[in-house]
């Protein structure tokens, strides 16, 4: 009986020791494949790319449509405890900007999320967003700069703009003019891939 228990414990510890490191995407509707089949979203495409490139990293999509940085701050500890990610792709803030929320509060929330991730040993990739000029030049510029300042402060590799290269192409957005279509998802992946790859280990 004791031998059997010891064998089970050895198998459990062996499983934990050899568990593949997890990439957790922690974002909003832009990462949750809003309006699309999940298999069309860039997070699913990322999982396929990792396999193609021989990186043994399972991908967890902890993104929620409509999420703000405040909501992300409230749930980050639970997500970290549940998934134990080695890398966190942090894609939040768009909803703060679209609702005209306090950018000081947004920065504080993102700062807290980054600190929580680093406290648990996870590397963080900060994904930046931009706002259209009708939100006011000063507000839009401060919003954009927040991501770069956070990345610089923590010496993190940033993605300057998730929708870089196609944000002005109306045909690549759904009817709401906010959420990218399935055809745009590979373009999002390319914007994410290079800085993310620098964090990966074979």
Quick check: is 83 catalytic?
no
DSSP state of 90: E
DSSP state of 40: G
Q: Which of 83, 84, 154, 179 is catalytic?
A: 179
Q: How far is CA 122 from CA 72, 85, 108, 138, in A?
A: 16, 6, 19, 33
* One-character DSSP codes across 153-200: HTT--EES-TTTTTTT-GGGB-TTSSSB-GGGHHHHHHHHHHHHHTT-
Strands 85-91 and 158-159: unpaired
Phi, then psi, of 192 in degrees rounded to 5? -85, -35
Lookup result for tokens 């074979």: 202
Quick check: is 179 catalytic?
yes
User: What whole-number distance in Å separates Cα of residue 3 and Cα of residue 6?
Assistant: 5
Q: Within a 13 Å sphere around the CA of 138, how many CA atoms are in the beta-carbon half? A: 1
H helix runs in the chain, sequence order: 2-17, 42-52, 69-83, 94-98, 103-119, 137-153, 185-197
Q: Which of 28, 29, 31, 79 is catalytic?
A: 29
Q: Which of 15, 18, 168, 176 is catalytic?
A: 176
Enzyme catalytic residues: 29, 176, 179
């Amino acid at each position: 009986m004791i031998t059997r228990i010891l064998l089970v414990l050895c198998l459990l510890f062996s499983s934990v020791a050899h568990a593949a490191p997890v990439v957790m995407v922690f974002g909003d509707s832009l990462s949750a494949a809003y309006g699309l089949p999940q298999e069309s979203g860039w997070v699913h495409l990322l999982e396929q790319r990792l396999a193609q490139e021989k990186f043994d990293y399972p991908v967890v999509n902890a993104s929620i449509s409509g999420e703000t940085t405040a909501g992300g701050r409230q749930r980050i500890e639970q997500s970290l405890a549940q998934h134990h990610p080695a890398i966190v792709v942090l894609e939040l803030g768009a909803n703060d900007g679209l609702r005209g929320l306090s950018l000081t509060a947004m920065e504080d929330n993102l700062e807290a999320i980054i600190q929580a991730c680093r406290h648990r040993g996870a590397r963080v990739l900060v994904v930046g967003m931009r706002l259209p000029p009708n939100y006011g030049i000063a507000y839009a510029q401060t919003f954009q700069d927040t991501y770069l300042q956070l990345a610089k402060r923590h010496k993190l590799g940033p993605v300057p703009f998730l929708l870089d290269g196609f944000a002005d192409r109306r045909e690549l957005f759904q009817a709401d003019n906010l959420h990218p279509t399935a055809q745009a998802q590979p373009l999002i992946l390319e914007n994410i891939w290079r800085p993310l790859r620098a964090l990966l280990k074979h």
